[in-house]
Chain A
Amino acid sequence: MQAFQLKLDSVRQHYLNGDISIGFRQLTDCVLDTRDLQFYKQLIAYTEWFESEEQSTFDVVSKAIHLIDLLVNFPIEEKVVDAPLLVAESLGKTYGRRKFQLKNVSLNIYPGDVWGLVGENGNGKTTLLRILANELSFDTGSLSVHLSDSSISDYEMRTRLVYIPQRTPKWYGSLKSNLKFTATHYGITGEENELIVLMMIIRFGLWNYRNHQWNELSSGYKMRFELARTFLRAPKILLLDEPLANLDVLAQQLILEDLKSLSQSISNPIGIILSSQQLFEVEKVSNKVLFLRNGEPTHLADANEQSNNETTVIECDVKATKEQLLEAFNQLPAFEISYNGGMYMLSISAPNQMSTVLRALATSQLEVTYVRDISQSTRRLFI
């Protein structure tokens, strides 16, 4: 079975399970994968129908299933992922008489990759993103971007490498008119313009806000708008600087899921690099996480590769003194415990000790509010 059919099955299952929201988003992705205006029209009509008034779940599901049935036999050309989109070798940049240096950053971004860029403030995340976006020059190393056209001007390159800064500029006019303006510049004209813009509006949950102005939208919806605008540009590489800042937890999850899903589009997979302080959320959707400290990559976590950590690092929030904890964990292999003022960090010199720790905490009957195994997470690097 092809990837598209598998994806449709997943959508069908979501609908049948009553997970209409996730089902609808994935259905939209499937329709977008078709790049067929007739299907766009059907999805838009479907959205218009169920957004217009309260509909019964049965009707919503049955109409969605009907659309899925129509999509099943649609031929989708799957994009073969083989060559990297962007290759950076030992990039370096020095600011203001060596006050800050970005050093030795190497990375390869393939279609479908989501890279998380983490690190404390002022460690070069934004600098790296701007270098990758061709916005900032670099002093050492090399950077090559492999797009479909072999020779394009610097300006055209900038049109393909989409960089969304942390503070997005204010825009004027209605949300929809701005999206249409973007689409037109990317050669999407006439009826197609209207349909694709509406599809993006639907995809990013902006249907009820399509005629709103900038100052009528919350931060979350502003970011959704930026993403909608960005995806209208059909980018090959998307560079996002702190896209989760100022978003609530739910909005963060939604946007990360959307990014993940869109990066792995069947017909048009893209490479994404995003910087964020929301470590766990980012790690959840990223294939690779790059940790920068003092401008230098100190850790590269690859979700595809098997971890061979010999140490278990556990973060926990317990209402207990350090002595009480030491007593509770006295059965554990060699370990260290530290307190950063809010959390205890437990470092055990053996792999996969989470269950042992949980048992020890349960036995000790200490009041535990939070426990997390951060052995694989870059969170442990912030200690």
Chain B
Amino acid sequence: MKFLRKFDTFLLENYPILWRSKVFYLLATGALLWVVFYLVGYAITDLNTLLTCSIDKRYEDTYAVLFHAILVLIILSFWALHFYKKNAIRHYYPLKRFYLLKLFFSILIGILPLVTIIVPFQAGVRAKARYLVDLETLQKEIHTINLALAFLPTNTENYSIHNKTFPKPFPVSDMLKFLSDSTWTESLLYIKDSTGDTTRYIPANHPENTVVIDNKQYQFLHSKTINPEDECYGEYYELITHFYHPDTSLKLHAYGLLNYSNVEYSDAAIPNRDSYSIQYDSRNITKFNQLYAPKIHRWVHQKQQDSIQYIVHEFQEILNKYSINNVLNPQLIAAIHAHYDYHGNYLSFVNTGIRDKNDYEFDFSVNNENIISYLESEDRENPFAYNQYSLDYLIRNSKMAYHHEEKEELNLAFVVIAISLSLLFFLFDVTPFIQFLIAIPAMGVLMIALGLISALIDYNHNDYYFDHLYKEEAYIFLLFSITFICLIVFSWITIKYTYFNKKLSGVLLNMGCFVAPVLPFLVLLTIVEFSRHVEYNPCGGMHKVYNVQLRETLMDPYLLVSVSLLGALCYFPLIRKYYARKE
């Protein structure tokens, strides 16, 4: 305590801004909260957390955000009580160069760590996740998991065969298939006919494109997505470009096209949110075909029950290690795969089996003891069942823990919150109190008025009032910009000339302070909106065309935050002039 008192006196005697803003105490409190929230994040994360939810949402899910908000509210209230106790400008004390600027930034620096408590919290969560799951081990386990998943279908109607054919016959980047009857007669594909018109394509009407593999019909085709801007359609649609007819000498099997491994995991530590699943990632298709497909093909083709049983058993060991619920029966699964065609509908087998063995969809001239005993048992459980969501979460969370990517937008949002809070505290301190309070409803009235005029502009936008470019947004932004500029100029005039009442000047000063940070942003937005033009497609549709480079440059979030901050800072000198003004 003695040291603190000495330190406090030292600041008071030498650095009144730092003393007053209590920035060191705020920083110390912020540091303490960072440690506490890191530990909280670490403590509340366990294996179950990794299996049941996404760790990047732990902050919201655990109500830490609520505690954070309450804590910050308490701390800032307590701080504000001390901060507002003394004031130099209201007493007309000499203010050194950049005094107000320094005061603002010392508040901002103090508030910033308090606002960004999510950072240590998430760091704590990730640290615990890293402690719980070893990435190197998991990467090895993923190979086992991917191999095993080929024998653990979860939904036969929902699998994807994109590029997962074996042997690999196709340039299959955008190959589609038709399997179910409904797709065969009601596809959502389009094709251009000989006259050039676009018509819906019904696969059943085109047997010339049909390929039969293992007694099932397929059509292999390439398509492209058509942008409605190119054509006179309101929605995107798939247009068939050409068909592919595989060489029958390839001896294709259905299982080669339709393996059930509809969920696969990448062992690559790609810092990409979706990279845990490779089914839509063409970069991993080659790897899948090289690494997993030959093995799966061999095991299925040669009916290698031991291998299938072994890999499923290994998978089960992994699930058990991470406490992921499952009732896998590796022996039974291997038996089923050996007895039935690989492409059979296993889920259907399980479901119908549970109902009544006489209702089997497939030919059940079964002589396998395991299968028979399973089908005859009364308390049958799905031998393929495991908690896929837990596995998904585990792998995704592990990758996030090891390869965390800072979310720039989120960080910037916290900076904006900290700046806004600091500005509010600052204005409350340096502008006249009553006028500050009056300025709030006055600003509200102004905004309502501007909103009504904007609505009028939006409502009346037509060729008569404006032009053919539909620039109503630009005019609205311009209206706001001009109003705010007028407000600031008028505020300056009332401060400069004593003809106006000083109280009015105080209200305008506050209103000016509110709009000063927004004005640069609005001006940039107005420039962007005015720089764009409208293009019409042959069907009469209209779309806005922006100057991409200008838009990207001016709408850069960092630029916007910087110019807004600059706008606020440029307004500060008026505050001193206001205080110097005579009544």
Q: A residues near B, CB below 8 A? A: 130, 134-137, 153-159, 171-173, 177-178, 180-182, 184-187, 189-190, 193-194, 233
B90-98, B182-190, B266-274, B392-400: which lies at the interface: B90-98
Task: Known pairs A180-B12, A180-B13, A194-B13; list 8 more (Cβ under 8 Å).
Answer: A137-B498, A137-B583, A155-B92, A180-B9, A181-B16, A184-B13, A185-B88, A193-B12
Q: Which residues from B are CB-within-8-Å of A185?
A: 16, 88, 93-95
Q: State which of B54-62, B111-119, B279-287, B574-582 sits at the interface with chain A.
A: B574-582
Out of A136, A173, A193, which one reaches B582, CB within 8 Å? A136
Any chain A CB within 8 A of the CB of B14?
yes
B580 touching A158, Cβ below 8 Å: yes
Report chain A residues within 8 Å CB of B93: 159, 182, 185-186, 233
Chain A residues near B407: list those with CB within 8 A: none
CB distance from A241 to the nearest CB of B (A): 15
Contact A155 B13 (CB under 8 A): no
A135 touches B12 (CB 8 A): no
Contact of A184 among B16, B579, B583 (CB under 8 A): B16
Minimal beta-carbon separation of B201 from chain A (angstroms): 79
Chain B residues near A172: list those with CB within 8 A: 85-86
B90-126 contacts to A, CB under 8 A, are 91-95
Interface of A (DSSP majority class): helix
The answer on a CB contact under 8 Å between B14 and A189 is: yes
Bound-complex Cα distance A186 to B96 (A) = 10
Across the interface, which residues of A come within 8 angstroms of B86, CB to CB? 171-173, 178, 181
CA A174 to CA B479, docked complex, whole Å: 51
> Would B581 and A154 count as touching, CB distance under 8 A?
yes
Q: B543-583, CB under 8 A of A: which get 1 and which 0? A: 00000000000000000000000000000000011011111
Q: How far, in angstroms, from A171 to B13 measured CA to CA in the complex?
A: 18
Q: Complex Cα distance A181/B579, Å?
A: 19
Report the minimum CB–CB distance from B371 to chain A (whole Å): 84
- State the Cβ distance, A102 to closest chain B Cβ, in Å: 14
B12 touches A155 (CB 8 A): no
Partner of A156, one of B85, B88, B94, B582: B94
* Residues of chain A within 8 A of B88, CB atoms compared: 181, 185
Q: Which partner residue on chain B sits nearest A180 by CB separation? A: B12
Supply 12 A–B pairs (Cβ within 8 Å), ascending by A.
A135-B583, A155-B579, A155-B580, A158-B580, A171-B86, A172-B86, A181-B88, A182-B91, A182-B93, A184-B12, A184-B14, A186-B93
Chain B interface residues (CB < 8 Å from chain A): 9, 12-14, 16, 19-20, 85-86, 88, 91-95, 498, 576-577, 579-583
CB of A159 within 8 A of CB of B92, answer yes
State whether B582 touches A181 (Cβ < 8 A): no
* Contact between chains at B92 and A181 (CB < 8 Å): no
Q: Cβ of A134: which chain B residues have Cβ within 8 Å of it?
A: 582
Q: Contact between B576 and A155 (Cβ–Cβ < 8 Å)?
A: yes
Which of A130, A177, A190 lies in contact with B14, CB distance below 8 A? A190
**For the complex of A and B, 10 pairs with smallest distance between CB atoms:** A172-B85, A154-B580, A155-B580, A185-B93, A137-B582, A193-B13, A137-B498, A184-B16, A158-B92, A159-B94
Considering the complex, give the chain B residue whose CB is closest to the CB of A155.
Answer: B580
The residue of chain B having its C-beta at the shortest distance from the C-beta of A134 within the complex is B582
CB–CB B14/A181 < 8 A? no
Give the complex CA separation of A154 and B498 in angstroms. Answer: 13
Q: Chain B: which residue is nearest A182 at the CB level?
A: B93
A187–B16 alpha-carbon span in the complex (Å):
10
Q: Are B94 and A186 in contact (CB under 8 A)?
A: yes
**Distance in Å from the Cβ of B262 to the closest Cβ of chain A?**
68
Distance of A154 Cα from B581 Cα, bound (Å): 7
Q: Which residues of B contact A159 (CB under 8 A)?
A: 92-94
**Knowing A177-B12, A181-B12, A181-B86 touch, does A135 contact B582 (C-beta < 8 A)?**
yes
The 8 Å CB contact of A173, one of B13, B85, B581, is: B85
B359: min CB distance to chain A, Å: 84
Shortest A171–chain B CB gap in Å is: 8
- A178: chain B residues at CB < 8 Å are 86
B85 CB contacts on chain A under 8 angstroms: 171-173
- Report the minimum CB–CB distance from A112 to chain B (whole Å): 24
A194 partner residues in chain B, CB cutoff 8 A? 9, 13
Contacts of B95 in A (CB 8 A): 155, 185
Task: Report the separation of the CA atoms of residues A187 and B576 in the bound assembly, to the nearest whole angstrom.
Answer: 19
Kindly provide the distance from the CB of B502 to the nearest chain A CB, expressed in whole angstroms.
Answer: 9
Contacts of A182 in B (CB 8 A): 91, 93
Partner of A189, one of B13, B92, B577, B581: B13
CB of A151 to closest CB in B, whole Å:
14
User: Bound state CA distance, A184 and B9, in angstroms?
Assistant: 11
Pick from B12, B577, B579, B581 the residue with the most CB of A within 10 Å: B12
Are A153 and B13 interface neighbours, CB within 8 A? no
Q: For the complex, what is the distance from the CA of A173 to the CA of B92, rounded to whole Å?
A: 19
Q: With the chains together, A136 CA to B582 CA distance in Å?
A: 5
Give the one of B13, B16, B93, B580 with max A CB within 10 A: B13
Q: What CA separation (Å) do A180 and B498 show in the bound complex?
A: 34
Closest to B93 in A: A185
CA distance A190 to B6 in the complex (A): 12
Report the bound CA distance from A193 to B19 in whole Å: 14
Q: Which residue of B lies closest to A131 (CB)?
A: B582
Shortest A194–chain B CB gap in Å is 7
- Which residue of chain A lies nearest to B11 when distances are taken between CB atoms in the complex? A184
Q: What's the Cα separation between A21 and B498 when bound, in Å? A: 48
Which chain A residues lie closer than 8 Å to B583 at the CB level? Answer: 130, 135-137
A189 contact set on B, CB distance < 8 A: 13-14
**CB-nearest residue of chain B relative to A233?**
B93
Cα(A186)–Cα(B12), bound, Å = 12
Q: How far is the CB of A183 from chain B (nearest CB, A)?
A: 8
B12 proximity list for chain A (CB < 8 A): 177, 180-181, 184, 193
Residue in chain A with minimal CB distance to B94: A159
A184 — which chain B residues lie within 8 A by C-beta? 12-14, 16, 19
Chain A residues, CB < 8 A from B576: 155
Inter-chain CA distance A180–B91, complex, in Å, is: 14
Once the chains are docked, how many angstroms separate the CA of A137 from the CA of B500? 11
- A188 (CB) vs chain B CBs: closest residue: B13
CB-CB < 8 A to B92: which residues of A? 155, 158-159
Q: List residues of chain B with CB within 8 A of the CB of A180.
A: 9, 12-13
Task: Give complex CA distance A184, B11 in Å.
Answer: 10
For B582, list chain A residues within 8 Å (CB).
134-137
Which residue of B is nearest A136, CB measured?
B583
Closest approach, in angstroms, between the C-beta of B401 and any C-beta of chain A? 48
CB distance from A361 to the nearest CB of B (A): 51
Residue on A nearest B99 in the bound complex, by CB: A185
| Chain B residues near A155 (CB-CB < 8 A) | 92, 95, 576-577, 579-580
* Contact across chains for A153 and B94 when beta carbons are under 8 A apart: no
The residues of A that contact B20 with a CB separation of less than 8 Å are 181
By a CB distance below 8 angstroms, the chain A residues around B580 are 153-155, 157-158
When distances are taken between beta carbons in the complex, the residues of chain A under 8 Å from B14 are 184, 189-190, 193
